[in-house]
Chains A and B, each alone.
Chain A
Amino acid sequence: MLQIKNLHAGVEENDILKGINLEVKAGEVHAIMGPNGSGKSTLASVIAGKEEFDVTQGNIFFESEDIAELAPEERAHKGIFLSFQYPVEIPGVSVTNFIKTAINENRKAKGLEDMPANEMLKMIREKAEMFEMDRKFLSRSLNEGFSGGEKKRNEIFQLAMLDPKLAILDETDSGLDIDALRVVANGVNKLKSEKNAIVVITHYQRLLDHIVPDFVHVLMDGKIVKTGTKELAYELEERGYDWIKEEAKAV
């Protein structure tokens, strides 16, 4: 589904990503871990198409198509979804109205008519229930005055509504208490299927107790320096990152 080959990217002349190789297949869950400033969020943004970053070398293929030149919304239309670490506040536009706009924009890109209002409402109700969001929440302005947990829940709600092929969750666990974490993780697990894939970017292992990864990658200084299974996440939790640094140096 997603193939990243020797990806170098950064801002102006400074590369933040220095040769990333990553392959994600349908049905898989990947976790990307690493210390602060290692390039985790940059990788997520580059896959989603943030214009601020220049790709200087390498390729990103999504379903065998090179997407490096596509606008963020075109990538979204192809089925890539990025859940933000810091979702942006949009006053005056309710959660419901926003998700309607997003759904219909995606349908328009596929040459489909707008979704009928009753169908839309039914779907919104279903997904909102899944994440234990009440009606009042849906009529509030998007992310405005939301708590950290509410913001993340709203991100996953949008994920459920848009049903992408590839979901990238950037630090979805930060700012969540344990109950909210469980709700979000259960939701993500319900959405998981053989046809889609999930990339979880996180600092800590605790989210991975709930969303169990098939692969764990360690990102350091713009490179994936180690890949393993979920046991690697436990090891990182216990031992930190220094030993990997040493190991990488030795190689």
Chain B
Amino acid sequence: MSLKDKLVSSYLAFEDYIDADSHIHEIRNKAIKTFENSGFPSKKDEAWKYTSLNAIIKEDYCIFPKKENTVEFKEVKKYFLHEIDTYKIVFIDGVYNSFLSETTHDKVDVCLMSSALSKPKYKAVVENYFNKAAKEDSLTSLNTAFAKEGAYIFIPKHREVEKPIEIINFATGNEAALLLQPRNLIVAEENAHVQIIERHQSLTENAVFTNSVTEIFAEKNSSIDYYKVQNDNQSASLIDNTFISQKDGSNVSVHTFSFGGKLIRNNLNFYQKGERVNSTLKGITIIEDKQHVDHSTLVNHIEPNCESHQDYKGIFAGNSTGVFNGRIIVEKEAQKTDAFQQNNNILIDDKATINSKPQLEIFADDVKCSHGCTIGQLDEEAMFYLQTRGVRKKEAQALLMFAFASNVLESVKIHELKARITKLIAKKIGVNLGFNL
């Protein structure tokens, strides 16, 4: 049985143990039909021309893990930003783990999607926001159909969450192959502030396929900084569907650090539904072997006087492949839009590939849009410069790669995370940079 058939037939079993009378269930029913009609995307779809899921979907995934699994904190400590105090929402094989988590209901809600979907006190928020930003494409619909667990973060008006929130999804490998579909909902009300770090981590070499959906709503003058740390095992694949809806004067930034994993597809969508909105999309990709990372971004400028800044850097070694598909739509009413997009890539080895495609669709006439894309090798003059100072070729390469990627880190506001990512980059480049990072 194909994965698609297995999923569609599992939906009936899934219905048996959820509240099938809730209004959410109508959304689920509709979503499974959408998925059933369209199936997994293939290379025939324009948006999936350079990313094939064939190798991923041929595995026989367990869709509902049978038992609750646990892990010891000391085994996984290194995956947390343990140097500082954080809120933590931790899932193990898709199931919430209260032992590793630190949630709160004190003025803000940092808790579970399952509670939000079932408890009356969250009903109003869920009705207002759930599935309101998500697109109806097949993979998002698949997630919606099975949506039951994930992070639920609600920051009321004028509140600032005093410490970052970590959302971590562990896979224990107790199943030979596991499909995970976390569903996150994040709402920052007027003038609220929050910082979030998301991570998916497989603890063994068993196959994991995560199809995640995150909806983010930034109300008037709110600000959200979201960091995605993608440094999973090379047996784990991730499709990250993130939808961000922004209102007047809001500020949202998403940083995506893609170093690990077998296949990663980031569908990052921004909808600017107010004036003076600021959206920032940044990414560093450093991959090797047969790894594949695809960034498909969309910034939809709907209202006037808004800005968007995109800056993606990629370093590709071995047989790795990268895709950058950056779509910017400036609608007719979106006058005075300032949209900037940059994608720079370095190919280290002859067999590494990058497909970079900027797509600008501009329907307004008084806008500033610029984009640039480069694909190259390391600068020879810079290499020579470093070598004349006695720095060996390999170290010089590392230094230049580090320099190439590092400006994306400047906008990371959590100091400890920035230090962590810097170290990850140094490690990924595989050379001791010879100085204290």
B402 in contact with A92 (CB, 8 Å): yes
A76 contacts B by Cβ under 8 Å: yes
Question: Shortest CB–CB separation between residue B250 and chain A, in angstroms?
Answer: 30
A26 contacts B by Cβ under 8 Å: no
A58 contacts B by Cβ under 8 Å: no
Digit string of B155-174 for contact with A (CB within 8 Å is 1, else 0)?
00000000000000000000
Residues on B lying within 8 angstroms of A by beta carbon are 379-382, 384-393, 395-396, 399-400, 402-403, 405-407, 409, 433-436
B407 in contact with A72 (CB, 8 Å): no
B400 in contact with A73 (CB, 8 Å): no
Digit string of A190-206 for contact with B (CB within 8 Å is 1, else 0)?
00000000000000000
Specify which chain B residues have a CB less than 8 angstroms from the CB of A48 in the assembled complex: 384, 388
B390 in contact with A77 (CB, 8 Å): yes
Size of A's binding interface in residues, CB under 8 A: 35
16 contacts between A and B (CB under 8 A): A49-B387, A50-B384, A72-B387, A73-B393, A73-B396, A81-B389, A82-B388, A90-B400, A91-B403, A91-B406, A92-B405, A93-B399, A97-B436, A98-B389, A104-B434, A109-B392
- Cα–Cα distance between A141 and B407 once the two chains are bound (Å): 11
A81 in contact with B399 (CB, 8 Å): no
Digit string of A31-61 for contact with B (CB within 8 Å is 1, else 0)?
0000000000000010011111000000000
A87 contacts B by Cβ under 8 Å: yes
Question: Shortest CB–CB separation between residue B108 and chain A, in angstroms?
Answer: 35
Specify which chain B residues have a CB less than 8 angstroms from the CB of A45 in the assembled complex: 384
Specify which chain B residues have a CB less than 8 angstroms from the CB of A100 in the assembled complex: 434-435
Question: Shortest CB–CB separation between residue A234 and chain B, in angstroms?
Answer: 31
Nearest residue (CB) in A for B408 is: A92
Contact pick for B390, options A50, A90, A105, CB 8 Å: A105
Specify which chain B residues have a CB less than 8 angstroms from the CB of A76 in the assembled complex: 387-390
Specify which chain B residues have a CB less than 8 angstroms from the CB of A114 in the assembled complex: 434
- Cα–Cα distance between A45 and B386 once the two chains are bound (Å): 13
A123 contacts B by Cβ under 8 Å: no
Question: Shortest CB–CB separation between residue B383 and chain A, in angstroms?
Answer: 9
- Cα–Cα distance between A158 and B403 once the two chains are bound (Å): 19
A72-B384, A73-B387, A104-B434 given; A93·B392 CB < 8 A: no
- Cα–Cα distance between A50 and B386 once the two chains are bound (Å): 11
A101 in contact with B434 (CB, 8 Å): yes
Contact pick for B435, options A75, A87, A101, CB 8 Å: A101
A102 contacts B by Cβ under 8 Å: yes
Specify which chain B residues have a CB less than 8 angstroms from the CB of A138 in the assembled complex: none
Which residues 123-161 of A sit at the B interface, judged by CB distance below 8 A?
141, 158
A106 contacts B by Cβ under 8 Å: yes
Contact pick for B407, options A71, A92, A97, A106, CB 8 Å: A92
A100-B435, A101-B435, A105-B395 given; A88·B381 CB < 8 A: yes
- Cα–Cα distance between A93 and B403 once the two chains are bound (Å): 6
B382 in contact with A88 (CB, 8 Å): yes
Specify which chain A residues have a CB less than 8 angstroms from the CB of B395 in the assembled complex: 101, 105
B390 in contact with A106 (CB, 8 Å): yes
- Cα–Cα distance between A78 and B347 once the two chains are bound (Å): 32
Question: Shortest CB–CB separation between residue B234 and chain A, in angstroms?
Answer: 27
A208 contacts B by Cβ under 8 Å: no
Chain B CB within 10 A, most for which of A45, A101, A102: A101
Specify which chain B residues have a CB less than 8 angstroms from the CB of A241 in the assembled complex: none
A-B interface, 6 closest residue pairs, ranked by CB to CB distance from nearest: A92-B406, A72-B387, A76-B390, A97-B435, A106-B390, A88-B385
Which residues 104-127 of A sit at the B interface, judged by CB distance below 8 A?
104-106, 109, 114
6 new A-B pairs (CB below 8 Å) besides A73-B396, A105-B391?
Answer: A50-B384, A77-B390, A90-B403, A101-B391, A105-B390, A106-B390
Specify which chain A residues have a CB less than 8 angstroms from the CB of B405 in the assembled complex: 92
Specify which chain A residues have a CB less than 8 angstroms from the CB of B379 in the assembled complex: 88
Nearest residue (CB) in A for B406 is: A92
A50-B384, A88-B381 given; A73·B392 CB < 8 A: yes
Nearest residue (CB) in B for A86 is: B381
Specify which chain B residues have a CB less than 8 angstroms from the CB of A52 in the assembled complex: 380, 384
Specify which chain B residues have a CB less than 8 angstroms from the CB of A93 in the assembled complex: 399, 402-403, 406
Nearest residue (CB) in A for B405 is: A92
A1 contacts B by Cβ under 8 Å: no
B388 in contact with A101 (CB, 8 Å): no
A180 contacts B by Cβ under 8 Å: no
Nearest residue (CB) in A for B422 is: A92
Specify which chain A residues have a CB less than 8 angstroms from the CB of B396 in the assembled complex: 73
A162 contacts B by Cβ under 8 Å: yes
B434 in contact with A105 (CB, 8 Å): yes
Specify which chain A residues have a CB less than 8 angstroms from the CB of B406 in the assembled complex: 91-93
- Cα–Cα distance between A158 and B386 once the two chains are bound (Å): 11
Nearest residue (CB) in B for A106 is: B390
A215 contacts B by Cβ under 8 Å: no
Specify which chain A residues have a CB less than 8 angstroms from the CB of B389 in the assembled complex: 76, 81, 98, 102, 105, 158, 162
- Cα–Cα distance between A75 and B400 once the two chains are bound (Å): 21
